[in-house]
Structure 1
Amino acid sequence: MKRDKTSEKKPTRKNSTPIVVRVTPEEKAAIDGHARQTGHSTSAYLRLLGLGYAPKSITDNERVLELAKINGDLGRLGGLLKLWLTNDARTAQFGESTIRAALARIEATQDKMVEVMKAVIMPKANL
């Protein structure tokens, strides 16, 4: 016995009833931003929130990768500093100013890392 395929169609949202929510331009921008952070459209983001789901942010994953890169930079700079401090013949041409510049770069990289970590742990919104 053949089944009628039209009766088995899954309902779509295209012809569904919309829910209108009035927001200020600032609120809309914030909601759009949060939706982008989770990798969803604004409609999908609001639908998920309304249905009780807690969408996960993809921004945090991007920040973790950024932290890993910064950590790699710190490791390379630390290795150079260690090499200079061992009085290796390959680093004899580098003077104190080069070492001070490397230390300043390490401090700047640490500051950058702290800023990225703050962005990861700060709440995205108070929903």
Structure 2
Amino acid sequence: MTDGTKEKATARRRGKPVEVWVTDEEKATITARAKEAGMARSAYLRALGLNTPVKSVVDLGAVSELAKVSGDLGRVAGLLKLWLAQKRGEGANAIDVESIMVEFRRLQVDIGMKMGAIVKAHK
């Protein structure tokens, strides 16, 4: 690796294969579930066969997306607050605006709780 390129790691041979006969539909399902877990099909089946927990990477992707949505909500609420400070007395009723702000905060809390539950379940 002196030339700055990475050498491909050689796959570890485990010894003997185990044949499992499945339908095309079952194979597709197994392949999809292994992909969701971020694993090769062989590693996925080995983990299931050895009763090792399989954790989905899809959930962590969802958490990342929820974090972005929560951030967007915060930015929208901040812009609304700034606009209200500059345009006091113009446009929307203050009570209506405050109820929207409360709803933004509630949504952010809900998103945070869902993200926490997903991450906790993933551990």
Measured against the shorter chain, the TM-score band is: 0.5 to 0.7
Residue aligning to 1:6: none
The TM-score, its normalising length taken from structure 2, stands at 0.55
Tell me whether 1:88 sits opposite 2:85 in the alignment: yes
Matched length: 90
The TM-score, its normalising length taken from structure 1, stands at 0.54
| Structure 2: runs of 5 or more not aligned | 1-11, 93-99, 119-123
* Aligned 1:1-127 pairs, distance under 5 A: 12-13=13-14, 16-84=15-83, 87-89=84-86
Higher relative contact order (CA 8 A, sep 6+): 2
RMSD (CA atoms):
3.2
TM-superposed CA distance for 1:25, in Å, is 2.2
AA aligned to 2:79 is L
CA distances 1:57-94 after superposition (whole Å, capped 9, x unpaired): 1221111111111100111112222233xx433x58x9
AA aligned to 2:48 is L
Rg larger for: 1
| Structure 1: runs of 5 or more not aligned | 1-10, 97-102, 121-127
